[in-house]
Amino acid sequence: MFIGVKEIKITDTISVLLLPLIYALVMGLGLYLAKPIKFVGSKQSKVAEGAMVLFIGVLITKLAISSGQAISSIFQVGPALILQQIGNLGTLLALPIALFLGFRREVIGMTSSICREPNLGVIIDKYGFKSPETRGVLAVFVIGSILGTPFISFLSSISASLIPMHPYAYAMASGVGSASMNAAALAPLMHMFPSMATQLEAFAGCSNLLSFCFGIYMCIFVSLPIAERMYDWLAPHILGHEEIISIDDDYAIEEVKHDEYATTDDLTIGKLERWATFLVIFSFIVAVGNYIGFHTSIIDAFIGMLLISLITIVGMALERIIPWNIQAIIYISLIGIIVAIPGVPTADFLVHYVSQIDLTTICTAFLAYVGIAIGNDWEEFKKIGWKGIVITLIVISGTYLCSAAIAHITLVATGMV
């Protein structure tokens, strides 16, 4: 936060923003990989990975409160928010390119979605753990975990300065179904368009909620069947074979990350105490960082973070108390939106303190943990090779730019901008 935002001018009209969240991620990974540093190793990486489950909830809460605060604006642009979800099919643009690079049935797993945790489950359930489709989705999952967040931040800043689409459209496109990528894509927009910050947060948060709720069904019923048909049609023409099995074993990923985000283990007093301890420490870090970066009151920011933390804990607890298969992110989003709607008794008090906290500060603290956590995946990342990296970046770019284009066209067609 002390280094601050650095702008790199490529041309007079195109620039790339280097944000504190990028520095934090790189420094966190560097601490893990630097061999002389003994106090950050595999054990600390696993602790950081567990803490991320909570801190993702903090990010979602902050966006949800902004969504509740701007609920009337959300209703006005409703069609754009819904239709831009079709842009998730932009991942399929990578399929023919993956075939040209030599991938085979892996392309179905790699390009049918943005390959986050729910999509992993869909592919493994449909094709089996040892299938080439699963190897494909795992490759993009691992690369996306390491490169996805910084890449989409760069992509957002370059696109907003180069392609003349409305900032609202880019904010909606930020909702790709990953909380960290959502926040990383949103941060440059808020820096470039500070007068629209609340609306941008609101649209990005709602878009991400829609992706969480309906993205898996888009994958099951739309993008995955299309990917299979595209493969059946293109593979014989590009690869010259009717029966294609899989690419070299160099691209095999041996194990799947356990999706701790969706776990429904029992709720205990000890667990609540650990959550509270983690979140109080995290809140203090964010409050100090917010003061360094934006010169706001540490006390006000700390109070705002404690309120956000309380909503996060309630959402995490409800996932384990209510006997329905509903993830905590849904509860957190709904609570955050409801308590911040203008006219609700909690709204003024909550918004006053939470508005003191800049989203960039939360992202920066969060990505420091991410950098340490992904150290455990570094060896798997190196196995995948440059071809997997190319396809992952195209998958992310495809869904982001297609969603932004659909949102922009809808906003213009409905007269919202």
d(CA 390, CA 78): 34
Total length of the chain: 417
Helices 298-321 and 269-294, axial angle in degrees (round to 10):
150
Q: How far is CA 204 from CA 72, 85, 228, 260, in A?
A: 15, 12, 30, 24
Among 250-254, 354-358, 395-399, whose mean pLDDT is lowest? Answer: 250-254
- Output the pLDDT for position 256: 45
pLDDT band at 410, cuts 50/70/90? very high
Averaged pLDDT, 311-330: 88
Which strand (E) or helix (H) includes residue 15?
A: strand 15-18
Among 96-100, 374-378, 398-402, whose mean pLDDT is lowest? Answer: 374-378
- Output the pLDDT for position 257: 46
d(CA 121, CA 115): 10
Could you state, in order of their start, the residue ranges of all structural domains in the chain? 29-253+266-413
Helices 359-373 and 20-33, axial angle in degrees (round to 10):
20
Residue pointed to by tokens 């190793």? 41
pLDDT single digits (tens) 34-76: 878 888 888 998 888 888 878 888 988 998 898 888 888 888 8
- Output the pLDDT for position 259: 41
Q: Which distant-in-sequence residues (6+ apart) come within 8 Å of 310 by Cβ?
A: none
- Output the pLDDT for position 286: 97
pLDDT single digits (tens) 106-156: 999 999 999 876 687 788 778 887 788 888 887 888 788 778 888 999 999
d(CA 122, CA 174): 23
Could you tell me which of 147, 211, 141, 142 has the C-alpha nearest to residue 176? 211
- Output the pLDDT for position 117: 64
Half-sphere exposure of 366 (CA within 13 A, CB side): 23
- Output the pLDDT for position 12: 65
Averaged pLDDT, 321-348: 89
- Output the pLDDT for position 251: 47
d(CA 56, CA 259): 13
- Output the pLDDT for position 144: 84
Could you tell me which of 377, 373, 381, 382 has the C-alpha nearest to residue 31? 373
Percent of the chain with pLDDT strictly greater than 70 = 92
Averaged pLDDT, 290-311: 96
pLDDT single digits (tens) 187-239: 899 989 999 999 999 999 889 888 876 777 788 889 999 999 999 999 887 87
- Output the pLDDT for position 118: 67
Helix (H, G, I), strand (E, B) or coil at 8: strand
Bigger pLDDT: 397 or 237? 397
Q: Which two tokens mark 253?
A: 């990923």
> For the chain, first and last CA: distance in Å?
34
d(CA 24, CA 49): 15
- Output the pLDDT for position 393: 96
Q: Which two tokens mark 274?
A: 């650990």
- Output the pLDDT for position 241: 55
14 pLDDT above the threshold of 80: no
Q: Which distant-in-sequence residues (6+ apart) come within 8 Å of 349 by Cβ?
A: none
pLDDT single digits (tens) 222-281: 999 999 999 999 988 787 754 444 544 444 444 444 444 334 467 889 999 999 999 999
- Output the pLDDT for position 258: 46
Q: How many CB atoms lie within 10 A of CB 7?
A: 13
Contact 172, 403 (CB under 8 A): yes
Cα 416 off chain centre by? 26
d(CA 308, CA 183): 16
**What's the pTM value of the predicted model, to 2 decimals?**
0.75
d(CA 214, CA 209): 9
| DSSP secondary structure letters along 209-236 | HHHHHHHHHHIIIIIHHHHHHHHHHHHH
Residue type, 207: S
Q: Which two tokens mark 390?
A: 């190319």
Percent of the chain with pLDDT strictly greater than 90 = 46
